[in-house]
Structure 1
Amino acid sequence: MLYLDNAATTAVRPEVLEAMVPFLTRTFGNPSSHHTVGEEAASALADARVRVARVIGMRPGDIVFTSGGTEANNLAVKGISIAAALNRGARHVVTSPIEHESILASVDYLRRVHGFDVTALPVDGTGTVSPVALAAALRDDTALMALGYANNEIGTVQDAPALAAVARERRIPFHLDAVQAAGWLPLAGTDADSLAVAGHKVGAPKGTGMLAVRSRIPLEPLLHGGGQERGRRSGTEDVAGAVGLATALELAEAERVEDAAAVGAICTRFIQRVLALVPTARSTGDPLHRLPGTAGFTFEGTSGEAVLLELERRGVVSSSGSACAAGSDEPSHVLVALGIAPEVAQTAVRFTLPHGLRTSLDDVADAVAASVAAVAGM
């Protein structure tokens, strides 16, 4: 079985599992407990915070460990926006129509429950947000702009530093959803005020993640209780998960440049062969500014779900887009925002390669052959 759905989740790396085991067994204490067992756990948690901060390019005190990317995005979008409303009466949020559901649903919550105005930035046919359009959308009462670094369905990469510069000039907080970007793109140097990561996209377990948020940015907590994470996210911390996340991010960052080049070359070859051999195939996303391991297509005249089933029957596992929207009969909101007709958007298939050289040219040849056969059989 050739697994090409790594944007949904990756396998846990052996090094990560090995690093976590001690904190699931002998060093099992509550890091808030004031005794030797708890202090050992607290020391490991503090070390993990330092290691994550080093990869992110922020300070250890900026790191908030979460249960994953969805919680991190919710905490950033709701927490920063509500704090801005309380502190300065700001009730306007800027985002784009192609964001992950965790951002779009959080923004909609602010609109419905707290009366925020929402501006959805236009995107072009590749899913790119223009800094000029962003600048025009910002207002004096803008509480937050929240955008994705790289899109989870089409792989398009935004110019994060250019977008951050617009926000900085207007002194408006900028949240960057880096869940799909981690391991492929540099996380340090984006100049974002907050940044979300999910561990299971880079070889850590599901249920691990973090939000990095600069200390100058007011943040209203969503979870209340014992005041852990400097009062920003109450609840006993998952020490083993934090250690696993730190280990995974360090490994991914150490391998990132070489990894992206090698996987990108293989993925580009895959895209070229599918476009050449499947007459109805159309590539989605930006052909140049995209994640190295993402290959998205529409196959007009087919059923995307039927193609997926046929691909799996032929030994290739892929997806139709975001795993968080699996089971929905609606066409992808991302593809529709790109101007793709809803009936064509429903034919979409996404292939996402793993980090490292775990996919070969032979594997790509097999995936191409399976794609050609699957579409031909519709």
Structure 2
Amino acid sequence: MASDRRIYLDYNATSPLRPEVADVVARALELPGNASSVHAEGRAARAEIEKARDKVARLVGAKAKNVIFTSGGTEASNMVLSPSLRRLGESGPSRLLVGATEHPCVLNGHRFPVEAVEIVPVDADGTIDLAWLKSRLELVGEERILVSVQLANNETGVLQPVAEIARLVHERGGLVHTDAVQAAGKLAIDMAQLGIDVLTLSAHKIGGPKGIGAVVLASDQLEIADRLIRGGGQEKGYRAGTENVAAIAGFGAAAEIALATMAEEAARVEALRDEAEAHLRRIAPDAVIVSAEAQRLPNTFAFAIRGLKAETALIAFDLAGVALSSGSACSSGKVKRSHVLDAMGVEPALAEGVLRVSLGWKTAKEDVIRFAEACEKVVGTLYKRKANAA
């Protein structure tokens, strides 16, 4: 008999809050002090922030002093993608190059003039065209360039060759930002090994609270001169406003858990992901797994079945008790055409039916079985409709 328990397979949109993190947040909410105050209560709040800063830094192989807390990944990207991001003593970049499959917070949230922005194409798997990028960088001359490429795509899970990109960009004196929101906690990240200058993070993708993120600079020899939120001197002057102590503490707790469990969890979730894909192929042999041959996050796969529209499928899965998402995340509640799939050259008829499955810390084998059962219902209805139309 089928369980009435709902199955949540939309971790790339947001992860359920870990109970251990919820406990940390609840305790921090009871702290009465402002972290900028010098009395004991203020110092206690400040201590929570600094402990969290160290934990977030450890997650990405950075130094705590170079972590700047923000309200989330979107604000973090808006902050750093600015002509004022620079090495001390140097001028900032005058041109921005962004990957074609970047998150909207990068594509639409930067602070460069439209004429100073170029899109870096991707191949059919969604991987950055390194030959194009290298050719473009050879034309740089004296112009300083900032390149922004995500570590992992939120829709397809495709991983980008960020270390190679950083090497090419630095050879020309440029700077590199990577949106690591989807990769953090799922892959081992070391900023020094990647060779990047700055990355951005979000807590709610790793079992932390919503509404808290971070900018992480590679060193204190980098600065963002034009501050996005001005006022007091919080976050070393980079981000004004009284700190959200509870959310920051929760971010730190989530980062600590993610780092401690990463290797084991990645293997576990990848096995479940592969099992879900196998069920899908058995039920729908004509299903297309997007970027199946590319390196992907261990928890993510996107698929389409010809003739099945994403909006219809999402409703059908939802009624069957399974939460998925369409190929593109959407703020309006409607299924939109995916710019990621367009950039990859996926034919429109197929792109309109792409669904994303993303697993996480609560996902169990029983959830994969329920996904397969829902697939059989949804696909069975589609095949029956096709047969009747034939």
What TM-score results when the alignment is normalised by the length of structure 2? 0.89
For 1:148, the aligned partner's letter is Q
The match for 2:117 is: 118
1:323 to 324, 329, 332: 329
Structure 1 range deviating more: 50-59 or 93-102: 50-59
Given that residues 127 and 286 in structure 1 are in contact (C-alpha distance below 8 angstroms), is that contact kept between their aligned partners in structure 2? no
Structure 2 residue 20 is matched with structure 1 residue 18? no
Question: Among the aligned pairs, what percent are the same residue?
Answer: 35
Distance 1:84 1:254, change over 3 A: closer
Aligned partner of 1:6 in structure 2 is 11
**Separation in structure 1 between the aligned mates of residue 292 and residue 127 of structure 2, nearest angstrom:** 8
Q: Which amino acid aligns with 1:4?
A: L
What amino acid sits opposite 1:30 in the alignment? N
Paired residues for 1:1-378 under 5 Å? 1-25=6-30, 27-78=31-82, 81-83=83-85, 88=91, 90-107=93-110, 109-112=111-114, 116-138=115-137, 139=140, 140-188=142-190, 189-213=193-217, 214-219=219-224, 220-328=226-334, 330-355=336-361, 358-378=362-382
Q: Is the 8 A contact 1:173 1:217 kept in 2?
A: no
Distance 2:273 2:40 in 1: 50
Distance 1:163 1:317 in 2: 35
- Partners of 1:84 and 1:91 within 8 A in 2: no
Q: Which amino acid aligns with 1:291?
A: L
Q: Is the 8 A contact 2:59 2:184 kept in 1?
A: no
Distance of 2:364 and 2:85 partners within structure 1? 48
Give 1:176 deviation, angstroms: 0.7
Report how far residue 276 of structure 1 moved. Answer: 3.2
* SS, match of residue 305 in structure 1: helix
Shift of 1:314: 1.1
SS at match of 1:41: helix
Q: Distance in 2 between matches of 1:276 and 1:191?
A: 42
Deviations, residues 207-229 of structure 1 (Å, cap 9, x unaligned): 01111023222312111000211
- Residue 387 (structure 2) aligns with: none
- The offset of 1:325, in angstroms, is 4.7
d(CA) in 1 for partners of 2:276, 2:287? 12
What amino acid maps onto 2:205 in structure 1?
A: K
- Give the Cα–Cα distance (whole angstroms) in 1 for the partners of residues 181 and 85 of structure 2: 24
Q: Is the 8 A contact 1:273 1:368 kept in 2?
A: yes
1:146 and 1:354 map into 2 onto residues whose CA distance is: 26
Q: Compared with structure 1, are the counterparts of its residues 21 and 363 closer, same or farther at alpha carbon in structure 2 (3 Å cutoff)?
A: closer
Q: Describe the SS at the equivalent of 2:356.
A: strand
User: Which TM-score applies when normalising by structure 1?
Assistant: 0.92
Once residues 319 and 18 of structure 1 are traced to their aligned partners in structure 2, the CA distance between those partners, rounded to angstroms, is: 29
Would the aligned equivalents of 2:309 and 2:353 in 1 still touch at CA under 8 Å? yes
1:6 positional shift: 0.8
Once residues 84 and 56 of structure 1 are traced to their aligned partners in structure 2, the CA distance between those partners, rounded to angstroms, is 21
- How well do the aligned residues superpose, as a CA RMSD in angstroms? 2.0
Partner of 2:112, secondary structure, is: helix
Q: Give 1:202's aligned amino acid.
A: I
Q: How many residues align?
A: 369
| Residue 376 of structure 1: how far off its partner (Å) | 3.1
Q: Answer with 196-205 or 276-285: which moved more.
A: 276-285
Unaligned runs of 5+ in 1: none
Shift of 1:362: 3.4
What is the rounded CA distance, in whole Å, between the counterparts of 2:243 and 2:54 in structure 1?
A: 15
In 2, Cα distance between equivalents of 1:264 and 1:326:
31
The Cα of 1:87 is off from its aligned counterpart by: 5.9
8 Å Cα contact 2:328/2:335 also seen in 1: no
Provide the rounded CA distance (Å) in 2 between the counterparts of 1:232 and 1:131: 33
